[in-house]
A and B are shown apart, each in its own frame.
Chain A
């Protein structure tokens, strides 16, 4: 599966037609020209939502009535149009001749993965970003996981309310709190177990890719930091539930004093060490970027193994801090997987391109194909 063409109408500042190559497509331009907007158009057409915060209506060119993006998706020589139209707050997908397709129908045709500058937060930011990284990946493999997360959040708020009721002298029966702890542990234990099982499959892949993309210079270690207790390796649901329940009971007194639940998957983290030290604190910005990109590529590799389809790879401005050796290793890895990729940059990296790759110049909402060796001169 690959995207052969994209036709955009009034999508932000873009109304263009672009024919894409099946390897790496490089979009070069100064800031504010529409590079990220183009990636966003591809992403919205595949996933039905943007990777940027904001409303659907923001995607429509200022003062235009609506926007459309139509991708030509080729599979074994047959090109199927996948078209998304946005008007006001409404989104509609058409696949082939069928209108009003659901997102899961679109997902069967095509998926996209986006890497942006903010992905650095995966390494640098707070634990919540790493939790959502895990949760999002697990959701792809196991859609009902979403309901587990929602149920857990709900029960968490219930227990916190009971803790505050206790704290404020209204005395709900002890048994009531115990019941909610039982429920919380039942749902939370499933989440802990899901995460640990995902990490069992994911970690070796991430470790391997970081090593490969840095020519062995960086060694990544991942550890599931579980507030409920040690959970190296994959932990069974029942064990996770028991562990969590024990901790909830132990911490009840403290939690009543603080008015919140201080143990559970809502506080767990994924610890990342590079060459034996916490990546968040000791790795350079470039190394952090490298780890983040490799970790996301590892997620993608797992999808590939599982679903057999390779998502379209969208890389926004992620090469800027990498030296040319590492950029080449990364691009080689992408080429090696035969993944179609679209990446943006302000200056094209000085590497050897392949026949399957193509270069485009983005200027004031216009996009045209240029030769790799010409683009630097014109910039």
Chain B
């Protein structure tokens, strides 16, 4: 069906289909929609894309998102406590932590988790940059906030070994009973973890 469409439109469909959660049918629907909406809509989209390409890049300090090639707002802010660093898997992990409003330090985004099977080793996580940051900024505590999956846990374990050698305090987000959760209905793997991680009051 797509072969009867003009070549540029076919290319647009192929590009759109690479987006997560978009298959070839949805891609075609989007493409046809944009064309039907007319040149204003296309202009708007292409301008937004253009600006994103020009202005948005990874923050050279934390590998989060920044504008204009400089530091991201968090790294640039004088109000953030400079001596703690929170290591997360992805940029998507930052907004929830921010809105929880418990953490006032800085971040480091790995973009990947260790996975020997998938060929992701320490080099792929630019850990040299993490170590540089820890040394150069006199970081006193690194909070490991990688997910509680096998990859996330293995990554946290490896990082803690690496960072402890640097003499920095390493902590891991607690795992356990969700706030407002009844013990009775908690899955037992979580519950046993909560017992292991219990704390003195």
Contacts and interface: CB of A to CB of B under 8 A. Distances in A.
Interface of A: 142-144, 147-148, 151, 154-155, 157-159, 161-162, 165, 172-173, 175-176, 178-180, 182-183, 187, 190
Contacts of A182: 157
Contacts of B162: 175
B150 A154 contact: yes
Interface string B137-164: 0000000000000100110011001100
A312 to B, nearest CB: 27
Interface residues of B, number: 17
A131 B153 CA distance: 26
Contacts of A151: 150
A142 to B, nearest CB: 6
Nearest to A237: B192
A279 to B, nearest CB: 33
Interface stretch (B2-10, B65-73, B109-117, B170-178): B109-117
B6 to A, nearest CB: 40
B174 to A, nearest CB: 16
B184 interface: no
Nearest to B114: A176
B122 interface: yes
Residue from A143, A148, A175 having most chain B Cβ neighbours under 10 A: A175
A183 B151 CA distance: 10
B1 interface: no
A273 to B, nearest CB: 33
B88 to A, nearest CB: 19
Nearest to A170: B121
A161 B161 contact: no
Contact of A179 (B117, B158, B187, B189): B158
B121 A172 contact: yes
A169 to B, nearest CB: 14
Contact of B154 (A147, A155, A173): A155
Interface of B: 114-117, 121-122, 150, 153-154, 157-158, 161-162, 187-189, 192
Contacts of A162: 116
Contacts of B157: 179, 182-183
B186 to A, nearest CB: 10
Contacts, number: 50
A243 B160 CA distance: 22
A162 B187 CA distance: 32
A148 B189 contact: yes
Given A144-B189, A162-B116, A183-B153, 18 more contacts: A144-B188, A151-B150, A154-B117, A157-B117, A158-B115, A158-B150, A161-B116, A161-B117, A165-B116, A172-B116, A172-B121, A173-B122, A175-B161, A176-B121, A179-B114, A179-B158, A180-B116, A182-B157
A190 B193 CA distance: 11
A136 to B, nearest CB: 17
A187 B150 CA distance: 9
Nearest to B162: A175
A154 B154 CA distance: 11
Given A144-B187, A147-B189, A176-B158, A183 B150 contact: yes
Contacts of A172: 116, 121-122
Contacts of B192: 190
Contacts of B161: 175, 178-179
A158 B189 contact: no
Nearest to A183: B154
A229 B92 CA distance: 44
A154 B114 CA distance: 13
A143 B162 CA distance: 35
Contacts of A187: 150
A147 B161 CA distance: 26
Contact of A158 (B116, B187, B188): B116
B117 A142 contact: no
A173 B158 CA distance: 10
30 contacts: A143-B188, A144-B188, A144-B189, A147-B189, A148-B189, A151-B150, A154-B117, A155-B150, A155-B154, A157-B117, A158-B117, A158-B150, A158-B154, A161-B116, A161-B117, A172-B116, A172-B121, A175-B161, A175-B162, A176-B116, A176-B158, A179-B114, A179-B154, A179-B161, A180-B116, A180-B154, A182-B157, A183-B150, A183-B153, A183-B157
A175 B158 CA distance: 7
A175 B157 CA distance: 10
Contacts of B122: 172-173, 176
Contact of A142 (B114, B153, B188): B188
Contacts of B115: 158
Nearest to B187: A144
B66 to A, nearest CB: 30
Contacts of B158: 175-176, 179
A187 B187 CA distance: 16
Nearest to A157: B117
B116 to A, nearest CB: 4
Contacts of B187: 144
